[in-house]
Amino acid sequence: MSRIKVHDKEFEIYIPQDQIERAIKKVAENINRDYAGKNPLFLIVLNGAFMFAAELFKSVEVECEISFVKLSSYSGTASTSVIRELIGLDHSIAGRNVVLVEDIIDTGLTMLYTIDKLRKLDAKDVKIATMLFKPKAFQQDYAIEYIGLEIPNDFIVGYGLDYNEHARNLPDIYKIVKT
Ligand code: 5GP
């Protein structure tokens, strides 16, 4: 299927599953190289990262712990700015080597907030592993250690990523068709 419709929008095939999974294997190899003997705590950021994480951890061989967090967002009372809260954290973070596992980094604001929160909980070290990265949209100055694939500023779905909760189950990545 090279073209699909999700809700009201059309998407076309962009990155096939085998290319995504080759990139994920490379991320796993780099993690294996860097984290041997460090017992890292991987925090998978739900919902979007579920498929990336499932594939990634088939190839991560270091001794580690894996847990899941979610970022709930709600509008602040005094302004329209979105405040995000990290929920579901059931591990002690103090002194841990933490790796955040994320689906996609766009402006980088979401991860900025999350890194800050984990540092305040006294994590020893916080690094990021993202399946996709939009370098042209990124507006922060923190490093992203592990990147699967860099993509342009197009809106994409599939491999865990949704458009209004649909299309997460697609095994390939699709990009929006501009009209
Ligand atoms: P950031 O805070 O880096 O701007 O945005 C990160 C979040 O925005 C991601 O976790 C994801 O939920 C959403 N996002 C950014 N770009 C895309 C995209 O192209 N497609 C989808 N489905 N979500 C995206």
What is the whole-number distance in angstroms between the Cα of residue 37 and the centre of ligand 1?
A: 32
Q: Which numbered atom of ligand 1 lies nearest the CA of 134? A: 16
- The residue whose CA has the least distance to atom 4 of ligand 1 is 107
Is residue 78 predicted with pLDDT exceeding 90?
no
In a domain, 133, yes or no: yes
Note whether residue 167 is domain-resident.
no
Residue 156 resides in a domain: no
Token pair belonging to 62: 């270091």
Tell me: pLDDT of 173 over 80.
yes
Average pLDDT over residues 68-83: 64
Cα–ligand 1 centroid distance for 118 (angstroms): 20
Average pLDDT over the chain, rounded to whole?
93
- Helical (H) or strand (E) element with 157: strand 156-157
Cβ atoms of 43 and 101 within 8 Å: the answer is yes
The answer, yes or no, to whether residue 80 has pLDDT greater than 50, is: no
- Determine whether 20 is exposed, middle or buried from the number of CB atoms within 10 Å of its CB (0-12, 13-18, 19+): buried
Which tokens hold the place of 151? 């993509």
- pLDDT at residue 83 in the model: 60
From the CA of 110, give the closest atom in ligand 1: 2
In a domain, 56, yes or no: yes
> pTM value?
0.95
Given the residues 106, 154, 162, 172, the one annotated as active site: 106
CA end-to-end distance (rounded Å), the chain: 20
Domain annotation covers residue 12: no
C-alpha span between 17 and 34 (Å, rounded)? 26
d(CA 36, CA 54): 20
Stretch 110-131: mean pLDDT, rounded? 95
Across 114-141, average pLDDT: 96
Domain around 69:
17-150
Question: What is the mean pLDDT of the segment spanning 150-162?
Answer: 97
Residue 26 lies in a domain: yes
Tell me, what CATH number does 57's domain have? 3.40.50.2020
